[in-house]
Amino acid sequence: MLRDAVRALLTELSQRAPGRSVEVRIPPFGAIQCVPGPRHTRGTPPNVVETDPMTWLLLATGRLDWAEATRDGRLRASGIRTDLTEYLPLTGE
């Protein structure tokens, strides 16, 4: 159930922010590339977002603020394109 929710929300993010400039990793359940911009093809991507499954669900559903998750260390984001706040929350509309 948790795995399915994580993957569904990653899919939604990839549809709302198509591209390959940011890698979003939610181990152990999934990783996607998204956000328009320069494409990265080899080695470690310069723009990486990584968090645990529960934090991802909270962020994606608007129950946790991006800045708070980063400040608390629950979210690691490296690179200039990794602020995904314009795409979140992924629910509603």
Number of domains within the chain: 1
Residue 31 lies in a domain: yes
- Give the sheet arrangement for strand 48-51, strand by strand: 30-34, 22-26, 48-51, 75-78
Q: How far apart are CA 59 and CA 66, in angstroms?
A: 7
Q: Percent of the chain, pLDDT > 90?
A: 86
Using one digit for the tens of pLDDT, what is the confidence trace for 68-79? 999 999 999 999
**Mean predicted confidence (pLDDT) in 46-70:** 96
pLDDT of the residue at 37: 87
